[in-house]
Structure 1
Amino acid sequence: MKSMEEIETGITESLRELSELLVASATYIQIGTILGVYLLSFFLANQIKHKSVWVSTEPHKDSHPLRKLAFGSHLLVFPLLAIIVLKLVLEINAQYQYESWLIQFSLGVALMLFLNQLIKRFVKNSILAKLFQWIALPLMFLSLIGWLAPIISVLEQIRIDIGNFSISAYGLARVLIFGIFLFWFGRASSHFGRDVIRKQTNLDNPTKEIMAKLLEVALFTFVIMVLLNIMGINLTALAVFGGALGVGIGFGLQSIASNFISGIIILLDRSITVDDYIEFEGESKGYVREFRMRYTTLETFDGKFIMVPNEKFISNSFINWSHKDLKQRFRVDFSVAYKTDVRQLCEIIREAVSQHPQVICGEDVPFEERPDCEIDSFGDSGVNMFVEFWMYGIDDGKNRVGGDLMLLIFETLKEHDIEIPFPQREVRVLNEE
């Protein structure tokens, strides 16, 4: 009975305090202040949305990364302004010793709104966004109502001791939560920084790739150092097993280290860069699309992506078709019958090839760069001819100039009744009788 009386007394006391708060003028002053702050923040955010083109107009696919980042930022401005103004009001109330428990609660709500908008705005992966929302928002709410500290205290008591090594549930959860966030932050910052660097028109492509690679290495080094600090590992102790780590790299991680260092060398010596057309001897060929820490991505003309280890560019020979000059010379072979007037044929083919829009020709073009038709050799069935021409770019699957010229030559030969030879054999039957 005594316990029931204590419960009833506690409930009665709580109701009495609540009724006192509801009739207190300070409570209504706080409510009015909160409404005023939120209305002012919403008004200012709405003004920013309508006044700024960067915020209100959706950017194009090729827009600057900062332009993409600014789009929709008014959704962040609203809770951010509310946080700043409410924090200012709390400082004023603390100086004059006014009641501010409700303002403190509304500040926590504004922080939750801001965090939720951050997740929606910047976390593109839907699964990761849900994970952040289900972890960060409940933690913020528990901190707001004052339950987070007791829960942390309980989790710290749950631990496993292995010799001198102790693992607590709180330490494990902290490393897991911060690890997911830090690696996401490192990856997102690396992609954003790379896009910003590549938009700099005053830098050449090799310099852009070097800066992007160094930024990526610096960010992930920072992430790993912070995560080690969160795990409670003394960073000075890393020097103890630095030698062992070097041996491990020399043996177990030799290939990875070699590819990483090869990638740095490629970027520094500028032998290849993005959009270069690379062809390995008798192997893969394509356009360089991206440099990674371990490999370089080549895109073939049929849309396939080939991951080439960076070490291969150092140890193997390859052709860089567009290293210094995009102007290249190509050749198309064909044959005609022996009875053909070859001199007249050469003039006809030169004129026909010059009609192609991508073939370099004209009076202002040097003679050695104009289309040329010559005899290659005398074959079994006809005269083997070839056409040499210059063009800007690569004659690949997307730019089939060679295929167009073969069709053009075929139609020209038919138009002038010039015979295209085919293998012929004379068979003599000998009869001894």
Structure 2
Amino acid sequence: MKLGNLDQQLEQALDTVSAVLSQPETYTQIGMVVAIYAIAWVVANRIRKYAPFLNAGGDEAGAHPFRKFIGRLGGLIFPILAILLLRISVEVSENLLSQGWLVQAALTISILLIFYSIIRNFIRNRFLASTFKWLGIPLLFLHLVGLLDGLIGILESISVSLGNIEISVYGIARVAIFGSMLFWLGRVSSRTGRDFISHQENLDARTREVAAKLFEVAIFFFIFLLLLQIMGINLTTLAVFGGALGVGLGFGLQAIASNFISGIIILLDRSVSIGDYVELEDGRTGIVRELNMRSTTLETFDGKDVVVPNEKFIAEIFTNWTHKDKSQRYRVDFSVSYDSDVRKLVEIIKEVVASHPQVFSGEDVPFEERPDCEIDSFGDSGINMFVEFWMEGVDDGKNRVGGDLLLMILEALQEHGFEIPFPQREVRVLNERPSAKRKRGD
């Protein structure tokens, strides 16, 4: 009896297939699908021809990350065009042919294929890729054939109530699936944004890093809000609670908030950058090594790190020695005796200082930046003189030029017979008064 029913069902299926194949509408739909794929292929090739940046060849080694991403998007032009044309053809076939099941099936298959292509080309994480393949594709298929609503109803019926909160299997699955998708999108967007920002050569390294962190925080904050919406949490209630919490934290974290905002201001106005030599109002100096959102780290020449709150750079006066121009002017003082030939000495000292490799000198250097030796004052023991010079960077640490110049000046003075004066004092002994002698004689 069962075999008879099976034979009967098989015969009915064969009759249905034969009837379908005998209908001219079926071949018309097949022709429409083939024509749509041909048109989409030609148009996609034309677009890639006139827009070379959309070619998937951007994946070669050394290509810009944003270029690679655009190249992968270019590979989706053909399936997207096919889907759009198939969607239009479904409406046309249903109105003109009174049936469009074959075009609808081609549309469903195209959507599944483009979803699989996106997973293969854009998702690098193996776990996420497997999740989307084995869970996302079946759910998408059920949605396209209209069976997903029934499955959702079954999952919603399986629920547990905890007070005023009702937890269903569908709610858990929805949060898990869409949460994974959102955080994956967040990671992709963050990584793409960081790569794009890191290739902006007009920004210094720390500015690029801080800008990338701000972009990452903004992306995941937006993703977090979307996830709350998916979970069904009322954002109005959350906003009221967040406002009350913000007022409470504002009094306790006022200094941290001030430093955070000051860090953003420093980032925008670029008054401090990595590598700048900074002198604070209290006299502490150092090279800027780290510029965080809360504080700035200065490295002194003796290897110590000075952590300075960012608000000090906003509320107090500081000196940035090397912000816009790394060139600096310094002077070295020395003394010679009064019987020295000062005019000859001046020329000798200029030549000696100009011979140092880190001192700006030569005909191509502006006259006002060349070494210059002058008289400073007339001292008690000799003539006080100084020599001014320009150099790249700060005269300390690795660039300790001043000490080298003092040694070179000393050697030059000794070589040419100039005397470095010592402190001189004249002592006069006055004769005692005669009245004092008589008194002692008495």
TM over 0.5: yes
Q: Percent identity?
A: 39
Mark the CA change 1:253 to 1:209 in structure 2 (over 3 Å): closer, same or farther.
same
2:111 matched to which residue of 1? 111
Deviations 1:102-135 (A, max 9, x none): 2112212222333344445555666655554555
1:171 offset after TM fit, Å?
1.4
TM-score w.r.t. length of structure 2: 0.64
Distance 1:5 1:388 in 2: 110
Asked if structure 2 preserves the Cα contact closer than 8 Å seen for 1:182 and 1:223, the reply is yes
Asked if structure 2 preserves the Cα contact closer than 8 Å seen for 1:288 and 1:296, the reply is yes
Taking the TM superposition and a 5 Å limit, the aligned residue runs for 1:40-189 are 40-56=39-55, 58=58, 69-120=69-120, 122-123=122-123, 128=128, 131-186=131-186, 188-189=188-189
Distance 2:49 2:248 in 1: 58
Distance 1:24 1:124 in 2: 46
Deviations 1:120-153 (A, max 9, x none): 5555666655554555334323323444333323
Question: Partner letter of residue 85 of structure 2?
Answer: V
* Bigger mean CA offset, 104-113 vs 137-146: 137-146
Question: Partner letter of residue 55 of structure 1?
Answer: L
Distance 2:73 2:33 in 1: 23
Asked if structure 1 preserves the Cα contact closer than 8 Å seen for 2:332 and 2:387, the reply is yes
2:354 matched to which residue of 1? 351
1:43 offset after TM fit, Å?
2.3
Mark the CA change 1:387 to 1:180 in structure 2 (over 3 Å): closer, same or farther.
farther
Unaligned segments of structure 2, at least 5 residues:
301-305, 338-343, 377-385, 417-442
Distance 2:373 2:139 in 1: 77
Asked if structure 1 preserves the Cα contact closer than 8 Å seen for 2:332 and 2:402, the reply is no
Compare CA radii of gyration and give the structure with the larger one: 2
Asked if structure 2 preserves the Cα contact closer than 8 Å seen for 1:370 and 1:390, the reply is no
Distance 2:279 2:124 in 1: 37
Taking the TM superposition and a 5 Å limit, the aligned residue runs for 1:236-251 are 236-247=236-247, 249-250=249-250
Distance 2:137 2:406 in 1: 70
Distance 1:114 1:373 in 2: 77
SS in 2 for 1:79: helix
Deviations 1:77-113 (A, max 9, x none): 1111101111111121122243222211221222233
Asked if structure 2 preserves the Cα contact closer than 8 Å seen for 1:279 and 1:320, the reply is yes
1:313 offset after TM fit, Å?
5.5
1:54 offset after TM fit, Å?
2.1
Question: Partner letter of residue 366 of structure 2?
Answer: V
Number of aligned residue pairs: 394
Mark the CA change 1:44 to 1:180 in structure 2 (over 3 Å): closer, same or farther.
same
Distance 2:241 2:404 in 1: 67
Mark the CA change 1:406 to 1:204 in structure 2 (over 3 Å): closer, same or farther.
closer
1:39 matched to which residue of 2? 38
1:425 matched to which residue of 2? none
Distance 2:320 2:62 in 1: 27
Asked if structure 2 preserves the Cα contact closer than 8 Å seen for 1:197 and 1:211, the reply is no
Distance 1:148 1:361 in 2: 82
1:431 matched to which residue of 2? none
Deviations 1:255-281 (A, max 9, x none): 76455433334345x253666636587
Asked if structure 1 preserves the Cα contact closer than 8 Å seen for 2:274 and 2:288, the reply is no
Question: Partner letter of residue 227 of structure 1?
Answer: L
Question: Partner letter of residue 390 of structure 2?
Answer: F
SS in 2 for 1:241: helix
Say whether residues 1:232 and 2:232 are aligned partners: yes
1:249 offset after TM fit, Å?
3.0
Say whether residues 1:389 and 2:406 are aligned partners: no
Question: Partner letter of residue 142 of structure 1?
Answer: L
SS in 1 for 2:327: strand
Asked if structure 1 preserves the Cα contact closer than 8 Å seen for 2:273 and 2:288, the reply is no
SS in 1 for 2:76: helix
TM-score w.r.t. length of structure 1: 0.65
Deviations 1:306-365 (A, max 9, x none): 999856756898764444x22431669999xx9xx9756523333323x66x94764662
Asked if structure 1 preserves the Cα contact closer than 8 Å seen for 2:204 and 2:273, the reply is no
Mark the CA change 1:409 to 1:28 in structure 2 (over 3 Å): closer, same or farther.
farther
1:230 offset after TM fit, Å?
1.7
1:244 offset after TM fit, Å?
3.1
Deviations 1:284-313 (A, max 9, x none): 744678x76x6789999xxxxx99985675
Question: Partner letter of residue 41 of structure 2?
Answer: F
SS in 1 for 2:43: helix
Question: Partner letter of residue 231 of structure 1?
Answer: M
Mark the CA change 1:264 to 1:45 in structure 2 (over 3 Å): closer, same or farther.
same
1:164 offset after TM fit, Å?
0.8
Asked if structure 2 preserves the Cα contact closer than 8 Å seen for 1:64 and 1:199, the reply is no
Asked if structure 2 preserves the Cα contact closer than 8 Å seen for 1:206 and 1:273, the reply is no
Asked if structure 2 preserves the Cα contact closer than 8 Å seen for 1:79 and 1:114, the reply is yes
Distance 1:308 1:131 in 2: 47
1:426 matched to which residue of 2? none
Asked if structure 1 preserves the Cα contact closer than 8 Å seen for 2:278 and 2:285, the reply is yes
Deviations 1:30-82 (A, max 9, x none): 22322221222122222333333323464999999875654344311111110
Q: CA RMSD in A?
A: 5.6
Unaligned segments of structure 1, at least 5 residues:
301-305, 377-384, 420-433
Mark the CA change 1:11 to 1:197 in structure 2 (over 3 Å): closer, same or farther.
same
Asked if structure 2 preserves the Cα contact closer than 8 Å seen for 1:346 and 1:374, the reply is no
Asked if structure 2 preserves the Cα contact closer than 8 Å seen for 1:349 and 1:409, the reply is no
